[in-house]
Amino acid sequence: TETLNEIREDWPTDLIIIYVTVGKNDDITDLPVLEEMSRVEEALDYNKTDYGENDSISYILSISSIIKEINNATGGNYSIPDKEKTDLILSQLAGSEELERLIKDTDGDGTNDSAVIMMGMPRNANQTEVLDRTEDAVKNTAICSMTVTGQPAIMKAVQERTFMEFMKVVPLMFIFTAIVLFFFHRTLKLVVIALLPMLYAILVTFGFLGMVKDYVVIAPQIILVAPLLFAFGIGDALYISNRFAEEKTENIRKRTISSVKFVQKAIFLTSITTALGFASLMIGTLKPLFTIGFALAIGIMACWIISVTLVPCLIILLKYKKRYELKSWKGFGKVPINNRKKILAVTLIFLIISLGVCLPNIRTSADYYLMAPQDEPSVIKMQEYSQRFDAGQPGMMLVRADVTSYNTLATIEYIEEMIKRSAPHTKTLSVVGVMKMMKVNATVATEMLLGIIEEYNITLPDFI
């Protein structure tokens, strides 16, 4: 984490990838395609000297940006040159291993039909705003088909889908719970008494998170707080209301006071121990887990406070009276007493099976992209990019040395070779790779030099 933070001080680690495809009759290296890619890049990275301070794009790496860099370095400007010079540059880039990270012939027909545009964002960039701008930019293409992907795009899609699914699940949670409560109590009053405090506690908890949003990291997983609070908190209201129904005193106020006194210590102890258990998540260094633990600890105690204060009020206002009781529940209490040895034996068997058979099968490694919604375009294209370009989530290695030194560059090249040997499917890209990709032979160098001389009317000495 410390190394990553050090890297993020000077280099962008959040990478947006635009996956580019063309039709069967087109090639990524065709001049109109390169120009269209360039127009998208210029619309997003409109300030080349601010390193992302104004446009939130630190750099762009693509076949079109490399051609523009070479054109700029050989007497032209930072743009796609004419077809003759573009073909000249492409002829020198052809066959480069580094170039295969940017363009690909995916169907083996001899034409490059896919490409990627990689864009780095600075640490303080508003990722949502950049992604929205990128989505708008890729919509206005006529030749290419462009899809925004990469980790920021996938995280945005996951976050949006999570909240969409949450909005579908929460109403169902309340509806099914209401049906169960009505089935066992046969009165809508109990449904209101049990559910209203929980809804209030959930809203209060999320409202409190909104107040402290500048001090905590609110990740999409925070929505798990709502169903967990609902599950843990609804019991408090049921304990109080059921105890109220069991009281024999006719006076409603006395029955309410007695029922609260009877269960108050028990529900307080269960609430405080549960809150402390979730508060233990705050000890770790993962900020999203800290927020979840913090929200659950606050929310569970809020459920207890609201239950012991609001439930008695609702009982009195609604004049709650239990109308129905399942007779079979009375006999259920005798089952564990009459079958204690059998129950202990079955429990022991399940424990042995869990420890000996099931527990060793638990694995912590997981493909997090498979956890994302598989019908999202950004996820589909990321998987396609990973398969066709043998690429995926980038890793980084920090080199602390003089990168202008030949020995440093040679060491970087050696490390890249070692990575390729030990992990054949891992692709590396560094300043060394870019230098190799931009190789220019003597013939091309001469042609470019003569072009510069002619363009600027340079007079050469007689002895040349």
Q: Report how far residue 453's alpha carbon sits from residue 95's, in angstroms, rounded to the nearest whole number.
A: 29
Q: Report how far residue 289's alpha carbon sits from residue 272's, in angstroms, rounded to the nearest whole number.
A: 19
Nearest residue to 224 via CA among 208, 205, 241, 242: 205
Burial of 232 (0-12, 13-18, 19+ CB in 10 A): buried
Percent of the chain exceeding pLDDT 70 equals 85
**When comparing pLDDT for 395 and 85, which is higher?**
85
pLDDT digits (tens, 9 = 90+) for 51-107: 778 888 988 889 999 899 888 888 788 899 999 898 888 888 877 777 788 898 888
460 belongs to a structural domain: no
Q: Is 442 left (phi over 0), alpha (psi -120 to 50) or beta?
A: alpha
Q: Token pair of 275, please?
A: 């809150």
Q: How confident is the model at residue 458 (pLDDT cuts 50, 70, 90)?
A: very low
Task: Tally the C-alpha atoms within 13 A of residue 130's C-alpha that lie toward its C-beta.
Answer: 29
The answer to whether 109 and 127 are in contact (CB under 8 A) is: no
Last residue of a domain, one of 323, 343, 366: 323
The answer to whether 63 and 29 are in contact (CB under 8 A) is: yes
20 belongs to a structural domain: yes
Residue 61 backbone phi and psi in degrees, to 5? -125, 120
300 and 401 housed in the same domain: no
pLDDT score of 241 more than 70: yes
The answer to whether 378 and 149 are in contact (CB under 8 A) is: yes
pLDDT score of 222 more than 70: yes
Max CA pair span of the chain? 120
371 belongs to a structural domain: no
Tokens 């210029």 label which residue? 42
16 and 102 housed in the same domain: yes
149 and 196 housed in the same domain: no
Q: Report how far residue 273's alpha carbon sits from residue 248's, in angstroms, rounded to the nearest whole number.
A: 31
Q: How confident is the model at residue 133 (pLDDT cuts 50, 70, 90)?
A: very high
pLDDT digits (tens, 9 = 90+) for 149-179: 988 888 888 888 888 888 888 888 889 999 9
Tokens 């390729």 label which residue? 420
122 and 22 housed in the same domain: yes
126 and 6 housed in the same domain: yes
191 and 315 housed in the same domain: yes
Q: Which pLDDT does position 432 carry in this prediction?
A: 78
Q: Token pair of 317, please?
A: 């206002």
- Classified as helix, coil or strand, 104 is strand
Q: Token pair of 208, please?
A: 């409190």
Nearest residue to 98 via CA among 406, 430, 381, 441: 430
DSSP 161: H
The whole-number average pLDDT for the span 20-28 is 89
343 belongs to a structural domain: no
Q: How confident is the model at residue 364 (pLDDT cuts 50, 70, 90)?
A: low
307 and 201 housed in the same domain: yes
pLDDT score of 447 more than 60: no
Nearest residue to 19 via CA among 150, 160, 154, 159: 150
pLDDT digits (tens, 9 = 90+) for 27-49: 999 999 999 999 999 999 888 87
The answer to whether 147 and 18 are in contact (CB under 8 A) is: yes
Q: Which pLDDT does position 92 carry in this prediction?
A: 81
Q: What is the mean pLDDT of the chain?
A: 82
The secondary structure of 231-285 as a DSSP string is HHHHHHHHHHHHHHHH---S-HHHHHHHHHHHHHHHHHHHHHHHHHHHHGGGGSS
DSSP H helical ranges for 104-150: 127-139
pLDDT score of 363 more than 80: no
3-state secondary structure 433-454: HHHHHCCCCHHHHHHHHHHHHH
Q: Which pLDDT does position 367 carry in this prediction?
A: 62
Quick count: other Cβ atoms within 10 Å of Cβ 357? Answer: 9
Q: Report how far residue 72's alpha carbon sits from residue 80's, in angstroms, rounded to the nearest whole number.
A: 9
Percent of the chain exceeding pLDDT 90 equals 22
**When comparing pLDDT for 248 and 330, which is higher?**
248
194 belongs to a structural domain: yes
**When comparing pLDDT for 7 and 269, which is higher?**
269
136 belongs to a structural domain: yes
pLDDT score of 336 more than 60: yes
147 and 46 housed in the same domain: yes
373 belongs to a structural domain: no
131 and 205 housed in the same domain: no
Last residue of a domain, one of 300, 323, 346: 323
195 and 249 housed in the same domain: yes
Q: Token pair of 334, please?
A: 């005798």
203 and 142 housed in the same domain: no
Task: Report how many domains make up the chain.
Answer: 2
124 and 47 housed in the same domain: yes
Give 371's contacts (C-beta < 8 A, 6+ positions apart).
none
Report the amino acid identity of residue 30: D
Q: Report how far residue 116's alpha carbon sits from residue 64's, in angstroms, rounded to the nearest whole number.
A: 10
Last residue of a domain, one of 323, 344, 368: 323
What H or E segment, with its residue span, contains residue 116?
strand 114-121
Burial of 297 (0-12, 13-18, 19+ CB in 10 A): buried
- Classified as helix, coil or strand, 60 is strand
Query: Containing domain of residue 254, as a range?
Result: 187-323
The top-scoring range by mean pLDDT among 49-58, 181-190, 268-277 is: 268-277
76 belongs to a structural domain: yes
Burial of 60 (0-12, 13-18, 19+ CB in 10 A): buried
Rg (CA), the chain: 33
